[in-house]
Amino acid sequence: MGENGFLCPWVDEAYGGLNADFGYSVVFNEEIERVGSGMVGFGLHNDIVVPYFETYGSDKQKNRWIPKCVTGEYVTAIAMTEPDAGSDLAGIKTTAMKQGDHYVLNGQKTFITNGIHADLIIVVAKTDLKAEPAHKGISLFVVEKDMPGFSRGRKLDKVGLHSQDTAELFFEDVKVPKENLLGDDGSGFII
């Protein structure tokens, strides 16, 4: 898909994209679903996750991650949903506590599209357990597939979309460099 220019077509040419408008993505999604591909993970990668990097990433993060998202070398996911909180972000239990030049990430996520194959995962975590209201203490982190303490659980069976990769993810004392914080600490809910 990357070799044919189908990944992140809206990305600026400086990062390897086509600088196309969003309509290109819409037409692409319509065409792959015309045949019932079940490949909704492409839309998640193209139109949901990578725009977080483009909009909230530093120049260093953009240069590091976006070109490989365009070529298909990196598959992306976003991990919000939790077993006990569902998609209620204010109720998440995953934490990321700052320790020196990194954060220590602990928790679990479920129903994560692209979770089994993802190279980069935006993880929603609490960084301030005392924040009031609760949503103010949430931040976004980019977890890379080989970080020690990160593991993948089951590829989940679903009623439909059997070809779609949906997974459980686990984080046990994952040291995430502060350079992998996406946006500002505490800005995750707004983002």
What distance in Å separates the CA atoms of residue 25 and residue 31, rounded to the nearest whole number? 10
pLDDT at res. 130: 86
Span 29-36, mean pLDDT?
82
- Cα–Cα distance between 137 and 113 in angstroms, integer? 25
* pLDDT for the residue numbered 104: 98
Is the CATH number 2.60.40.1260 carried by domain 76-182?
no
User: Residue 158: its pLDDT value, please?
Assistant: 63
> pLDDT at residue 160 above 70?
no
For the residues 175-189, what does the mean pLDDT come to? 95
Of the two residues 160 and 165, the one the predictor is more confident about is 165
User: SS3 of 171, please?
Assistant: strand
Average pLDDT score over the chain: 90
| pLDDT value, residue 91 | 84
Q: Is the pLDDT of residue 100 over 70?
A: yes
User: What architecture (CATH level 2) is domain 13-71?
Assistant: Orthogonal Bundle (1.10)
Q: Do domains 13-71 and 76-182 have the same CATH topology?
A: no
pLDDT at 159: 65
144 exposed, middle or buried (CB, 10 Å; 0-12, 13-18, 19+)? middle
Give me the pLDDT at residue 26, please: 86
- Model pTM score: 0.92
Domain assignments of the chain as residue spans, ordered by start? 13-71, 76-182
- Picking from 76, 70, 177, 90, the residue whose alpha carbon sits closest to that of residue 138 is 90
Comparing 8-12, 35-39, 145-149, which segment has the lowest mean pLDDT? 35-39
